[in-house]
Structure 1
Amino acid sequence: MASVAERPDAAGEKRLDLAARAAWLYYFKGRTQEQIATELNISRQIVQRLVALANSERLIRFQLVHPLAEAIELADRLKDRFGLIYCDVCLNESGSTEDIPSVASQATFYLENVILQQKAPLTIGMGSGGAMREVSRRLPPMDRPQHRCVSLMGNLTRDGRATHYDVVTRLAERLNAQCYPLPVPVVTNTVEERKVLQAQPGYGVLRSLVDEATLLIMGIGYWSAEATLYHDGFITAAETAQAMQAGGVGELLGCAISADGEIVDAAYHDRLTSFVRTQPADRPTTIVASGVHRAPAIRAALRGRLANSLITDENTAKLILGME
């Protein structure tokens, strides 16, 4: 015969058993509370308490049975870790360490369904790079003449050669929107040249548009011998090496940033013409990027609060979280 001290535990176990039965009927069999009350011969109020008990005692574990389940969880973890206002993680379709096409398609969906359905005029600030080019290519044609697309950085080398990442023009064409490119060198030869360019009325107009932009969306670069700024001829090999020695791990709108998301003391910065954002980001500022090389740069920008939104793939998301 059980002792007096053992009876409360036995009663508790029986109650948990009953809670498990009620939870099974409620969550897995789809019974209503009234049906459960009849089946277990208890009142509806007791059914409510039993289901609540099952939840509080963690008897119930939910599993999302869908290919995106892990990606959704990764996005949630990234939002919590970096305090993001938006995060979307897509499946890695290519199986490689970089999946720009999948990420660009997800960013296109974001622009099309989250932003561009608005009828009121809005201004979108666009960065450049391969991911942004893929986004502009995938966006379906729309008729949004009230919207404005403004470039966040120049598209010329110092000798006047244009980059093939003319993103803002392509995007504006797809939307039938107003287009405001920035036809200046990304990095000028001298500080005086930068000051002259930024003193022009057209530059002031673009600065005002960027300041009032509803959304900023951009790719991100990384520092190596294959750095985009160097590879595309915007800066020299010596300037690239100096930025890396100064601690640069990422490049956002042409600006070198450290692993903590701080702007490093890169020699070319005083000749940079892009609209570099202040910290922290004061509006939806979205990075669209993928790849093992870009993961440290993405993490740096999020840590430094240079961006508050991210669209990436699951492999890159795992890399970023693994660095924490």
Structure 2
Amino acid sequence: MTTMTDPEITPQDEAARAGWLYYVGGLTQDQVAAELGVSRQRAQRLVAKAMADGLVHVRLEHKISACLDLEVDLTRRFGLKLARVVPALPAGLETSHATAPAAAQVLERYLAQPEPLIIAFGTGRSLSAMASEVIRTPHAPHRIVSLISNIAPDGSASFYDVIMRMADKLQLPHYPMLVPVITDTIAERALFNALRPVQAVMELAANADVTFVGIGQMNGEAPLYKDGFITRSQLEDLQRAGAVGEIVGGIFDAEGRYIDTETTRLIGSFRIPAGREKPVIAIAAGLSKIGAMRAALKGQLVNGLVTDESTARALLA
């Protein structure tokens, strides 16, 4: 004779239940505590954990009029095909937490298309946060392709590999860029570029129906430098050449024009052409990115933008 035993309740189980009761059930934290039989302080921590671990997703469905006005102004000023502006978070909080739900909603519109699409992705913190927020499954066998790899010169990978997260979540055919972001020599880069799988990925990227990218600044906090892809000396060389921003490894000046240096010739990625007709949507926010974002918009490297209210006001100032 066998007996049924209750499964062990994990901390995530408890956090998920607390998050459900608070965000979906509409209970107060005192009511959540009473329902779970825990203290109010523990209920508060569980609700916070549910949100931090991505166990629940909260989206703002009501469009705030100030954000709508900013969307109109951005569209007119920069000739955008799409603009989404979300309320800014308090200072000190990660801006990607604000933009991620809105960016995910934009992506989900394409995932809902009945015809198969090619959807291209950059990498980085903003897109990684977006991937975590996607909750709707695709309606067609879309293909997803990476515009740049996440492999550093020492063979390690960054934490912000978007293509694999998307592939795991959406169960779609995916095409990663399986080469180092930067090589030691131009000859080595040419060898990688000549590989048939790399050429196939580049061709898919060139024919993408929609592209999602982040925008990186080129100051001391440059993602390419912070994540170990380029050295301090290479960063300083790029800055001397006028670098202000970067999109999937394509480094550009204040006019939004790609620069050509010894370092840029070592970077392997799909370089997005200026003035592309198909949607190229940037997910970016933060006052430290204003110079890079304004240059990318000026050079027509992107034609769509998901950002927050503070950043939008600064761009329009």
| TM-score, length-scaled by structure 2 | 0.78
Q: Which amino acid letter does the alignment assign opposite residue 195 of structure 2?
A: Q
1:82 aligns with 2:78: yes
Q: Which amino acid letter does the alignment assign opposite residue 296 of structure 2?
A: A
Indicate if the aligned counterparts of 2:113 and 2:140 stay in contact, CA closer than 8 A. no
What corresponds to 2:3 in structure 1? none
1:248 aligns with 2:243: yes
For residues 236 and 85 of structure 1, the distance between their equivalents in structure 2, rounded to whole angstroms, comes to 36
1:153 aligns with 2:148: yes
What corresponds to 2:112 in structure 1? 117
For residues 275 and 126 of structure 2, the distance between their equivalents in structure 1, rounded to whole angstroms, comes to 23
Indicate if the aligned counterparts of 2:118 and 2:143 stay in contact, CA closer than 8 A. yes
Instruction: For 1:177-216, list aligned pairs within 5 A.
Output: 177-216=172-211
Secondary structure, counterpart of 2:287 in structure 1: coil
What corresponds to 2:44 in structure 1? none
1:139 aligns with 2:134: yes
For residues 141 and 83 of structure 1, the distance between their equivalents in structure 2, rounded to whole angstroms, comes to 29
For residues 185 and 279 of structure 2, the distance between their equivalents in structure 1, rounded to whole angstroms, comes to 33
What corresponds to 2:263 in structure 1? 268
Q: Alpha-carbon deviations, 1:249-272, whole Å to 9, x = none? A: 111111221111011233311111
- Higher-Rg structure is 1
Q: Which amino acid letter does the alignment assign opposite residue 286 of structure 2?
A: G
Q: Which amino acid letter does the alignment assign opposite residue 124 of structure 2?
A: G
After superposition, the CA RMSD in angstroms is 1.5
What corresponds to 2:104 in structure 1? 108
> How far apart are residue 282 of structure 1 and its match?
2.7
1:127 aligns with 2:117: no
Q: Which amino acid letter does the alignment assign opposite residue 310 of structure 2?
A: N
Q: Which amino acid letter does the alignment assign opposite residue 234 of structure 1?
A: F
What corresponds to 1:220 in structure 2? 215
Indicate if the aligned counterparts of 2:251 and 2:259 stay in contact, CA closer than 8 A. yes
Indicate if the aligned counterparts of 1:97 and 1:291 stay in contact, CA closer than 8 A. no
1:313 aligns with 2:308: yes
Indicate if the aligned counterparts of 1:145 and 1:177 stay in contact, CA closer than 8 A. no
Q: Alpha-carbon deviations, 1:269-298, whole Å to 9, x = none? A: 111110001121231000000100111111
Indicate if the aligned counterparts of 1:215 and 1:285 stay in contact, CA closer than 8 A. yes
> How far apart are residue 119 of structure 1 and its match?
1.5
> How far apart are residue 190 of structure 1 and its match?
0.6
Q: Alpha-carbon deviations, 1:66-111, whole Å to 9, x = none? A: 8711111111111101111111111113355852111111100111
For residues 224 and 231 of structure 1, the distance between their equivalents in structure 2, rounded to whole angstroms, comes to 10
For residues 166 and 201 of structure 1, the distance between their equivalents in structure 2, rounded to whole angstroms, comes to 22
1:165 to 148, 160, 163: 160
Q: Alpha-carbon deviations, 1:146-176, whole Å to 9, x = none? A: 1111000111111211111110111122211
What corresponds to 1:91 in structure 2? 87
For residues 81 and 175 of structure 2, the distance between their equivalents in structure 1, rounded to whole angstroms, comes to 27
Q: Which amino acid letter does the alignment assign opposite residue 78 of structure 1?
A: L
Secondary structure, counterpart of 2:150 in structure 1: coil
What corresponds to 1:71 in structure 2? 67
* Unpaired stretches in structure 2, ≥5 consecutive residues: 1-61
Decide whether aligned partners of structure 1 residues 299 and 98 sit closer, same or farther in structure 2, where only a CA change above 3 A counts.
farther
| TM-score, length-scaled by structure 1 | 0.76
| Paired residue total | 256
Indicate if the aligned counterparts of 1:148 and 1:172 stay in contact, CA closer than 8 A. no
For residues 126 and 178 of structure 2, the distance between their equivalents in structure 1, rounded to whole angstroms, comes to 20
What corresponds to 1:229 in structure 2? 224
For residues 67 and 306 of structure 1, the distance between their equivalents in structure 2, rounded to whole angstroms, comes to 27
Indicate if the aligned counterparts of 2:114 and 2:140 stay in contact, CA closer than 8 A. no
Indicate if the aligned counterparts of 1:242 and 1:267 stay in contact, CA closer than 8 A. no
> How far apart are residue 203 of structure 1 and its match?
0.6
Q: Which amino acid letter does the alignment assign opposite residue 144 of structure 2?
A: C
> How far apart are residue 221 of structure 1 and its match?
0.5
